[in-house]
Amino acid sequence: MYLSYFDKFKGQEPYLEINETEWSYIKETFDKDDVKESLATVAMTYPPPYADISRKDCRRDYRKLKSTWYHDFISEGEWFARAENGYEWPLTYQGRQIYIKRNNIGNKSSNYFQQENRWSVDGTISPGPLRTWGEIKFMTSLMGAAYTLKFPKIDKAILRTMLGLRKYICSQFKPNAAKTLYEMFGSKNILDFSMGWGDRLAGFYASMNTEYYVGIDPRAENHPIYEEQAKYYQLHHQFFETKKEVEFHVEAAEDFDFDQYSDTFDTIFTSPPYFNVERYSYDDNQSWVRYKNIDSWNKMFLQRALENMWVSLKSGGKLCVNISDVNAGSNGKKSWLQICDPMNEFLDTFKDSDYLGCIGMEMASRPNSIGAGTAVESGESNREPDMIKKFDGKFCEPIWIWEKK
């Protein structure tokens, strides 16, 4: 039942806020279920609680990303990746375990453009922020987190935290991780066959040595924003910096004709979908819609795309793929889907391929993570108890690295 007491919280500027005194009074006075429904109803009169990123924030963060040196992000040390029983392929590079340290430099430079777009994505077992914010049943359920997580008040930041912990916020790739890899390998001509939210595009523009970027993604809604990003980054390009050129294609990677780019790229770096963990759209060009089980997805999407694009990689070029196995279970039940070992075994069949190793990408914690690179900033640990027993070191996602001989 909606409580008229909550009417006074409508129309607040700049955003909904219930202070500690009010929130304590509400919890002590009213029925919990009525509070959840009332709070949900009022919250839905406000826009979703996006992170506040101004154009000035974007510019500052982009300039900071450009000024960083990739050595600052590389660290040597023990790390592990999410998997049921580890991986057959060693998580070492040149005989050492190295990883890219977690850092938020550059996040705002792409998230300024893509945040609202990214929040439209659903997870496989939980709705995304926009869908949640539009349906009272999801919102009422979400408001239970205000009790279970014992928040002292209600405001925009807390509502955003509740979404991240109890629903699903699609992951953002780290632009600084892309810049690190591009500069580490001296990349000039780059292919990204799953562009996602333009984070590796931001890393491309921020890198001192990169010149040419070709991006492919089937989600048509993303492409006008890619163009906006490129125009903005180019605007902040200095006359003495390396000239940049970009091309974007709206197409599924497994259908794309890579012959037009034969022997073009020295680096292919991407982070493809983790099967159906993130449902970017419900269009029939999405891989999770086309291929209903993990075996067909591995063969018909990921492996087919890799086989087709191999012709575009120069001799001595690097293929770098950020992906991990996923736990697609729900309600505490585990259902591990193997992606990485089948992918690496497939690449190993190429007569001119050579496995160089694996570099970790340090991730934040996400207590309800189901396996993809979906960490959000929180103080909780996403290491499942059996993982803590099996592994030591930093929790990372793998970037698998192959070379064309």
Which range has the worst mean pLDDT, 286-295, 298-307, 325-334? 325-334
Instruction: State pLDDT tens for residues 145-184.
Output: 999 999 999 999 999 999 999 998 998 999 999 999 999 9
The pLDDT value given to residue 279? 81
| pTM exceeds 0.85 for this model | yes
Segment of 216-220, 273-277, 364-368, 389-393 carrying the highest mean pLDDT: 216-220
Question: Is pLDDT of 379 > 90?
Answer: no
CATH class of the structural domain 55-112+172-404: alpha beta
Compare 335 and 25 and report the one with higher pLDDT. Answer: 25
Going by pLDDT thresholds of 50, 70 and 90, the confidence category of residue 74 is very high
Instruction: Please provide the average confidence, as pLDDT, over all residues in the chain.
Output: 91
The pLDDT value given to residue 334? 66
- Domains in the chain: boundaries: 4-46+127-166, 55-112+172-404
Question: Is pLDDT of 381 > 60?
Answer: no
Instruction: State pLDDT tens for residues 242-280.
Output: 889 999 999 999 999 999 999 999 999 999 998 888 888
How many Å apart are CA 321 and CA 297, to the nearest integer?
16
Question: Is pLDDT of 380 > 60?
Answer: no
